[in-house]
Amino acid sequence: MKTFADGRATHQSASGAPPSCGFEVIIDHNLMMAGPEGMFQTNKIGLSWRKIDLSGASRGDVFIVGGQRFMVEEMVADDGHILTAACRKDLC
């Protein structure tokens, strides 16, 4: 794999912390999530990034990628290296 990314992101914390800029993300439309009956497809958008670039995100945080805004609904994965947040498009 030559690159990790679908784009470069800016992360804006809902808490008002200074933004993190220019790190690579992978965008996964129709994110698959685990439920009581196994895996299911959602209408959420998954954003994944390296933990070394950004240590975490919280509900209400916003990622801006290529002019599109994505609001974090919940963190869904953390393997110690890559984090994934379930997001929705933010129309603001």
Domain extent listing, the chain: 7-89
Residue 85 pLDDT > 70: yes
Banded pLDDT at 1 (limits 50, 70, 90)? very low
- Dist. CA 73–CA 58, nearest whole Å: 8
Residue 92 pLDDT > 90: no
pLDDT the model gives residue 16: 92
Amino acid found at 37: E
| CATH number, domain 7-89 | 2.40.10
What is the pTM for the complete model shown? Answer: 0.87
| Tens digits of residue pLDDT in 16-72 | 999 999 999 999 998 887 778 888 778 899 999 999 999 999 999 999 999 999 999
